[in-house]
Structure 1
């Protein structure tokens, strides 16, 4: 479907790629069929795009009859007695790709929720999905410069998009209809010069709006007329439970490849970083390799170790303070300082044996999705608190990029696991101990 070649060409035109954030390279159980962690969109053998054609104003019953024909259509229910059906006709100049949770044939790209804050490749599906079955569609021009645009909602098995009476919908100034989906399709364009990156909502017709007030979801935001749904290299699409990154062909040509990241991993291991406590050589494992020498880091200071039993004023210190507390209790009570220190120990903080700073102690995991890197420099920094490793500029970029969490809350998050980053220090520079010989 995506890699199908044109009838008279050995190499199809590539429009770009979509990357699912939070998977670190692969979905649990592997990438299979239409359910993948990344998708390459190629020109189809034959155009399948559609464009608005005839508009009918009728009763909801008549709207159902019209929408059951072989043409694509969008149905807007205005009241119990009035509906508007916009029929779509074939567009030989565009290709359409549909995205959603449904596994039915109209959906080209099947996506499900990715839950932030978990280590490794562990997206977790909630009990009730928030991703729409037919969430959105991407329409690409078949002629240069192969512009790609995103639109809210996708056509179902009956080739219909249905907006019920409670959905946000309205008549435009020229008498046409438009609307928003229940869960919303959000778009963030990359920052350009002095213009910051902000989240917008995209309508069924591809118009751009400010975000809705969550207390009145049936009201649309303010239309932003000088912005468009055209996807740029680095655009983010949020489907209320999954976030997609769009990379253009030109942008991909400037990005590191998976082979380059593997070469950087081997270079890190060739430097033979040492654990200062056990004096053993550390190594970042390959994707399927063993992990006994995996590096760990103290997130407060950035000192890299192997996993070791040194606790500092951790578990052992906690026991010492308890015993000391019982002695002081017999003499009249504990001090406020001892209570705070024991609380820190209970939270799992450990003391770095090199600098005595205290904080979380976590394993390091290389970020393996080359498309989220903004440069090809060596992995030198780790996100806090998840421990995913990437280049400094990449860490800085994502620490300033708010991703959606929940209904309408946005926080910077690790692109490899979607774990929320610490606000005061979202990433830390790694400090490796060289070999003693």
Structure 2
């Protein structure tokens, strides 16, 4: 049956429904920028970093499909369908962000990473489905672009926080007795507060429409009750995925291997290659950690700008061609870090990474949303996350061994490998069938 067109939303309605991602990215940016630094400060070896990071993707593997399934089958006359998950996730994530920089031993930091990532995923997954729920196909690319804009803005500020505390507020950036530096602790405190308030903004200022056929919705929800049925539905979805989703899954695999490599190994790479230190207790290593925050802020800022340019470019060409171009630029930029020895010049490849990041957060989801049934939007968006976290799990298992046995612990070579994977992901985009392209061709 053909779906009725949804009413067009105003700019500010899309703004309010996307603003929560500003806070969510505070959590992810602080996690991505500082986790390797925290682990190393607490005594982790460089070739064990990728294994220690596994808590994050494994959590996403378990949480996102379940949350998507539950949110599809939730309705409350006041809270709606997705907003209960926004709110609960924000509370839990904020608590975890206050705990993370107070980890006193390595195992505690790994445990809190698990708690933090699980909580962030509870908030984040329904936000993707929210766009599919609220926006007509003609506005979905713009809706995901608005989310990407807030992700970029949140990432810039959160990534810069340790440097702001060091350079402008005079807070110590040096570990004392093996503890996490105060700059990192205070950054997480600010991040936890911003996370909660930004998500609360969306919860209070956005509304959700009740199911068009409430009787049918309630009947389907009753039929789907029970954990066993939920697991059956979630696992069964693998064999019912739309063709477009399968094609995008291959692209996502190589994309997220590259991103995982970047998040895990940029700090030790820059510390070794530019700041000439492998000692996480040294001031030089911690200074490198702050500089990586500036680098990540650069790619976040570029992505915020590119988020609004990419949909226009997609109209001229296609979403597939935009994604191919952006991933190729990002991959070549990661590879180029190998040849850079000046910290200022390291900002240049982050421009390319920011272009790729904007597309990663926009184009696959926009392409996918047009290929999904409306009543299973949350579930399939959650299932799609399998192809974000599985490559990270694979990378977490193998990259440490590759670094040790093939790259002689030169972590910048892992960044080069990640760049090559990102270029390959761009090429594989050509295999994806986008329904919008098919409509244009008719």
TM-score normalised per structure 2: 0.24
TM-score normalised per structure 1: 0.25
Q: Which has the higher strand share?
A: 1
Q: Which has the higher helix share?
A: 2
Q: Which has the higher contact order (CA 8 A, sep 6+)?
A: 2
